[in-house]
Amino acid sequence: MQHTTTWDKLISKKRFETTDPKYSTDESVRGEFQRDYDRIVFSSAFRRLQNKTQVMPMPESDFVHTRLTHSLEASVVGRSLGRIVGKSILERYPDLAQEKHIQEADFGDVVAAACLAHDIGNPPFGHSGEDAISAFFESETAQPYLATLTEAEKADLQRFEGNAAGFRVLTYTYPAHCSLPGGLSLTYTTLATFTKYPKESLPLVKNTRNTSEKKYGFFQTEKTWFNTIAQELGLLKKGVDGEVFYHRHPLAFLVEAADDICYRIIDFEDGLKLGLVPQEQGLDLLRQILDDNPNRKSSLTFYDWREEIGYLRARIIGKLIEETTTIFLQHEQEILQGAYDTPLINELSCKPVLDKIKDLSIRLIYQNRPVLEIEAAGFEVLGGLLDACVKAVFRPESKHHRKLAALIPSHYLELPDTATDYQRIIHITDFVASLTDQAALGLYRKIKGIELPRMY
């Protein structure tokens, strides 16, 4: 396979276009991949990330990161990763620039856009929210509603995946909203770069060492879309005939790396500033990543340890960006051939220190008692909302259920008569997963009679 041909197909400006071509913009002013970035920024799903859990559920401190600030920071790191890699790729394959007019900035914009959206499908209460949705659909209560579903459709719900929900957010148009399909109408390349797990929920690949096979990236409702993207871009096929199962787009490795870098370092920074991680222990680990000589005299004097953390974080992220791009370029041919499938962060020279930071973060931050208590409450909240909403759709003869249905935005309920039970359930799951932490808790309290709405 010619590598130039491969990159030529992988970097494509084709999109699920939902606008009149006459309104297309001058690409010399705003490139196609920058348009992707802008569309994500202006989407309501992205805006809702400001009230979704990153480190601390429903934080009282205005310092703590939310999914929104995390996504913005990941996109900044991703843009740097993409541009550095893009510069080298264009030097290796000059025809990409000369004949296809692909620029260094295109690589950066693609990765930045995919990073910006990487958490856009996450439900309330973080990974605990995913577990709560899965648990509801595995419960006896849910089984009567799943009777007509295929095994793959059941797997979508019983192993609910925020990555697949994100792909749906980006590509699905509700019938009640518009007659044109394609969601945000992003380019195929950005959508493929977003998809870290380019497979459907089945088959389940057990005990795999390949990172791209550990989860799935799209529901049954969107697998035709992804198959179209994969074939257009020439992604390498996995699995047997009939399975929508592919190797990653190479730039998806950079999205994963940007996310890994940010949550490892910046979540740890949050833990330090919240007092959950001992100050000296945390600072020592950050200094170890830089491998600074403790006897080396510095021209800087910090009078506030919090400022030193910010300084260390900036230097660390710069170092990790540089090293990550070097690793990617060293493995470029293996990645293009589908022979490489491990997180780039695993090959960083400071991985032992990053592993210590990860272990400490799990123990002192993510498993901090208030976090666990809120996540446990969130588990009950999401299960209760799904139970109420599914009954409202499937048992409309009850006056109580009709009142519950009236609380659900109409576009989640308006489907053609030919809609399947799976499609109806997916729409309800869309609604619950789209809620912010506070909105989910507030709605649950109201429908359970724990809290009454204010009357104006």
The proportion of the chain whose per-residue pLDDT surpasses 90, expressed as a percent, equals 73
Q: Quick check: 4 pLDDT over 50?
A: no
Two tokens, residue 361: 């973060």
C-beta atoms surrounding 17 within 10 Å: 12
Q: Report how far Cα 311 is from the mean position of its chain's Cα atoms.
A: 27
Going by C-alpha positions, the residue among 413, 400, 415, 411 that lies closest to residue 447 is 400
What pLDDT, in 10s, does the model give residues 22-62? 445 556 678 999 999 999 999 999 999 998 866 655 555 55
* Per-residue model confidence (pLDDT) at position 57: 54
* Per-residue model confidence (pLDDT) at position 109: 98
* Per-residue model confidence (pLDDT) at position 25: 52
Two tokens, residue 195: 């998809």
By the 8 A CB rule, do 359 and 375 touch?
no
Query: Could you tell me what percentage of the chain is helix, strand and coil, using 3-state DSSP and rounding each to the nearest 5?
Result: 60, 0, 35
* Per-residue model confidence (pLDDT) at position 1: 39
Two tokens, residue 51: 């009230």
Non-local CB neighbours of 296 within 8 Å, separated by 6+ positions? none
Two tokens, residue 167: 């792909």
Going by C-alpha positions, the residue among 306, 305, 283, 303 that lies closest to residue 294 is 283
